[in-house]
Structure 1
Amino acid sequence: MVLSGSFAFSGGLFVTPGTRAGAMGGAYTGIADDATAIYWNPAGLVQINGSGVELDIIYVKRNATSNTSLMNVNTPDEKDGDFPLPKVYPTEPNEYNSKKFTTNSFLPFIAGYSKINDISLAGGFYAIGGGGGNWNDTVKGGVDDVSVSVDGALGFIIGNISAAKKIVSKVYVGIGLNYIYSIDNTEVEKQYTRATGSSMPSDYSVAIEKSGTGNGIQMVLGTMYIPIDKLRMGFVYKNGTTVNISGKSEYTLTGLASLGLPDVNNETNYSQNYAYPATYSFGASYDPINPLTIAFSIIVNKYSVLKNDVDYKNETVFKDVNTSLNYSDTTQVMIGGEYRMAKISLRGGFQIDPGPAPSDKRTLLDTKMYSHKVIYLGFGYKLKMLRTDFSYGYSMSNKPNKNEREYKYSGGGYRLTVGYEY
C-alpha cells in the first residue's frame, strides 16, 4: 500500500474581494475607486480624496454534486472518480453513497488609504481562498461498516502595500507589492469495522495527513486612462511567482498484519513549489448619464503554469513528483452596472468564468473542472462619512461528465462592506 506523492486535494478557484466590485460582476479594473483598488487596480487610488478604512466580509458556500459517488477500488486514481485510499477486503462496497462535496469560504478584507501630497497610499490584508471542502460517508453492511472522509483547504492570505500617482492630467499609474502567505492542509481517512460474525480477519484504519505553509512575493502594476470625464480605462498586470510551501506529511496504517502489511506510522517533511499564476486584466467604465455607470472587464489567468512539484525528505511511502497539471489559461469576462441615487446605489453584474482543469479525468473532489456563469445583485447606502454595501451572487456551473458520471457545482455567496472616510 504505497501512495504516490502526486496525491493532492483540489479546491476551488480564487474568490476576489470587494462587495461593490462583486455586485458589478467583477467589472472593476476600469473603476477601482475604493480601498479594493489594491487588488483590482492600484492606479485607481488616485481617484480617492482624503483618508479612510474599509472592512469586507465574504461568505461563499457551494455544493459539488454527482449522479455517482466515489468508487472504492484496489488501485485508485483519485483524479478520476476514485476515493484516494484503496479497497482491501472483498466485502467492502464498490462504490460509496455520498454524492455531495461541500465547500465553504469565509474571506475577510481590511484596508486603509490616505494621500500624502500628490501620492496616494494604501495597504491592507485580504484572503482570496483557493479552495477547501469536505466529503464524508459511512456505508453500513451486513458484514462490515466503512467510514471514509476527505477534508482539505488551500488558502491564500495577501498583505499589500500600494502607491499611485497622476502622471499627467489623464493618466494614473499605480504599483503594489503583495506578500502571499499560503495554507495547504489535507486529511484523508478510512476506517473498516467488522460486524459480528464477519469472515474478514480484522478491523483496519488508514489515513493520510498533509499540512504546510509557505510564502511568496508578487508585484502589481496598474494604469488608468481617462480620455473624457465619462470614460475610464484600466490595465493591470500581476506577475507570476513561486510560493514556497514546506510542511509535514503523515501516513498511518493499522490492523492489516494478517495480510502481511505491518502497522505503519510514517512521517516526513516536504517542500512544494506552488506556481502562483500571472494575470492580465483590462477594463473600462462609462457614464452614459450622470447617475449611471456601466462597465466591463476581461481577466486572463495563466493557469497553464500550475504543476504538482513536491519533494519529500523521506520517500519510504510518499514519492517525489514534478509534473504539469495540464491546465489551460482562462479568460474571464465581466459586465456590470451601478445606478446612484441620493444615498442609495443599485448594482448588478454578470460574469463568465471558465474552468482550467483538463477534461480527460473527472472527480467529485476537484472543483477546478467547472466553468461558471455568475449573476450578481447588490446595493449600497451612504450616510455622510459612513457607507455600507451588500451583494449576493449565484453561480451556475456547467455539467462536466465522463463514463456516465455527471457533475455539477452551483451555489451562492454573500458580501458585506462597512467603510468610513475622514
Structure 2
Amino acid sequence: MKAAPVRSLGIVPAIILSMGAAGGAHAAGFQLLEQSASGLGNAYAGSAAIAQDASTIFYNPAGMIKLDGINVSGGVNAIRPSFKFGNDGSTGPGGLWPVGTNTGGDAGSWGLVPNLYGSWRINPDWAVGLGIGAPFGLMTEYDDDWIGRFHSTKFSIESININPSVAYRVSDRLSIGAGLNWMHLDADYRRAAMLGPMGPEGRAGVKMNGDGWGWNVGMLYDITPDTRIGLSYRSAVKMDVDGDTKVYGPGPVGVLMRADAETSVKLPDTATLSFTHNLNDRWQLLADVSWTGWSKIESLDIYNSGPVPDDSLDLKFRDTWRIALGANYRASEKWTLRGGIAWDQSPVRDAEHRPTSLPDNNRYWVSVGARYNFSERASIDVGYAHLFVKDTDINNNAGPSKGTVRGDYSSNANIVGVQVSYRF
C-alpha cells in the first residue's frame, strides 16, 4: 500500500511533458511557437528576421529597432489537437491486471494561447519592450477507464512567461537585442493506481507549481535594403516546481496517502536563423531553420516526502530541428496574403520512450493567413495552420506497477489565430 501506488504515478512526465497553456499539441515536443498570429500564416518562417510588429520581442528582440514609435500587439491562438489511440496488446500492472477495451476517446481538446507585446523606440538607437506569452504547453485527457489509465488519464497545465527586452542599433545595417525571462507554471495530473499487489484500483494525482529564469538575445543584419538575416537564441530555463501527491481509494473513498513533492528540470534552449527577401514590391520570401536542445531532458526525477518513494522516468530525448519556408503577397495597400510550410522534428526518439501524456511524432505544417491594414497605424492578422502528424507507434513499458501501453496513435492539429496591432 505504500510503494505500489506512488511508483505508478508517472508524475514527472506529465508535469514536464505537458507544460504551457492548456489544450494543445502543436510544435514538436511541448514547445509553443504560437506566440503571435501574424507569423502563423507563414508557419513562422522568417520569425527571427521579419520584425513586422511588436511580437518580434519573443522571436528576436533586435527587431524592435525596425518599429517606429510605440507599438502594441495582442492576440490569441486557438489550438485543437487530436490524439486517437489504437490498442495492440497493452497490458496492465504486473502484466495481469485487466485493462479493458476502452481506447480512451480523443485525448486532445481546444486550448487558447494568448499573447501581448508592447515596444517603444525611445530614439533612433534604442528601443525597449515587454512581451507576455506561454512558450511551452500541452494537455491530454483520456476516458477514466481507458486501457492506458495506469499511465495517465488527464493532465492540464498553464504557464506564463514575462519577457522585458532592450534593443540597440549598432549601425544602419546591424541591430542587437536582449531580454530577461521569468516563467511560471501550474500543473494538475491524474491517473489510475493499484493500491496493492492484487488491487483494488484507486486513483492518484498531483498538483505542482513553480518558476524559473532565463534570457534571450538576438541580432538583425540588413545585407541589402531588400535582404535581411536574423539570428536569435533563447536560453534553457531551470524550473523548480513543488506541490503535493495524493493517492485516493476506489469509488468514493477519500485520500489514503499524501506527500510533499518536488522536482526540477531544464526546459530546452532554442537557436533560430531566419532570412527574408523582398523579391519585388509585392512578394516577400521567408525561410527559417531552428534547433532545440531537448537532449537536456534525458531523465526526469521526482522526490517525495514521507512514505511515498521517489520516482524516475527515462526519456532519452534528442535534439531537434525545424525548417520552414513562407511567402507574403502584398495584394493592395490594405491586404497582405500569407502562406507557409514547415517540417518539425519530435524529441521523442522511439516507441519505447513515448509517454501517453506526449504521444508526439514528426509533423508537417501547412499554413495560410492574411493581414488587413485599417490605416497606417492599425492592422489585424488572421492565420490558420493544419499539422499533419506521422502515425505514431507506442510500446511504453513503465514497469510492473503501470504495465505496458502498446499500439499506435492517429494524430493531427488545427490552429486558428487572430492578432490586433497598433502604432502610436
TM-score (norm 2): 0.84
Partner of 1:242: 238
Answer with 360-369 or 305-314: which moved more: 360-369
Kindly provide the amino acid, as one letter, of the partner of residue 423 in structure 2.
E
2:196 maps to 1:179: no
2:32 is the alignment partner of 1:15: yes
Measure, in 2, the Cα distance between the counterparts of 1:263 and 1:72: 27
Answer yes or no: is the 8 Å Cα contact 1:224–1:234 preserved in 2.
Answer: yes
Which residue number corresponds to residue 379 of structure 2?
Answer: 387
Cα pair distance change 1:308/1:154, threshold 3 Å: farther
> Larger C-alpha radius of gyration, 1 or 2?
1
Match of 1:298 in 2: 289
Counterpart AA for 1:252 = Y
Q: Secondary structure at the match of 1:136?
A: coil
- Secondary structure of the 2:415 match is strand
1:311 is aligned to 303
Separation in 2 of the partners of 1:136 and 1:190? 15
Higher strand share: 1
Q: Which segments of structure 1 move beyond 4 Å, counting only runs of 4 or more? A: 146-149, 189-192
Task: Answer yes or no: is 1:151 the counterpart of 2:158.
Answer: no
Q: Decide which moves more: 179-188 or 216-225.
A: 179-188
Distance 1:246 1:158, change over 3 A: same
Amino acid at match of 1:293: Q
**Structure 1 unaligned residues grouped into runs of 5+:** 77-85, 140-145, 193-202, 257-261
Give the Å deviation of 1:366: 3.7
Within a 5 Å distance, the mapping from 1:56-205 to structure 2 comes to: 56-68=75-87, 71=90, 73-75=92-94, 87=97, 92-117=98-123, 118-137=125-144, 150-189=153-192
Aligned to 1:289, what secondary structure does the other structure show? coil
State whether residues 174 and 222 of structure 2, in contact with CA within 8 Å, keep that contact through their aligned partners in structure 1. Answer: yes
Residue 65 of structure 2 aligns to a residue whose secondary structure is helix
What is the CA-CA distance between 1:365 and the residue it aligns to? 2.2
Aligned-pair CA distance for 1:69? 7.8
Unaligned runs of 5+ in 2: 19-24, 396-405
State the SS of the aligned residue for 1:367.
coil
Q: Structure 2 CA distance, aligned partners of 1:405 and 1:220?
A: 40
Over the aligned positions, Cα root-mean-square deviation in angstroms equals 2.9
Q: Does 1:331 align with 2:350?
A: no
Cα offset for 1:147?
Answer: 12
Tell me the SS of whatever aligns to 1:102.
Answer: coil
**2:221 pairs with 1:225:** yes
Mark the CA change 1:122 to 1:364 in structure 2 (over 3 Å): closer, same or farther: same
TM-superposed CA distance for 1:105, in Å, is 2.3
Change (3 A) 1:158 1:353: same
1:285-339 deviation digits (Å, cap 9, x = unpaired) = 000102211110111000000131222122x234243x55200000001111111
Change (3 A) 1:241 1:70: farther
**Cα 1:255–1:297 shift into 2, 3 Å:** closer
When structure 1 is superposed on structure 2, of 67-76 and 355-364 the one drifting more is 67-76
Measure how far apart 1:343 and its partner are: 0.4
Asked if 1:369 corresponds to 2:360, the answer is: yes
Q: Secondary structure at the match of 1:20?
A: coil
Q: Which residue of 2 aligns with 1:352?
A: 343
The Cα of 1:263 is off from its aligned counterpart by: 8.5
User: Is the deviation greater in 98-107 or in 287-296?
Assistant: 98-107
> Alpha-carbon deviation of 1:45?
0.7
Cα 1:319–1:147, aligned 2, differ >3 Å: closer, same or farther?
A: closer
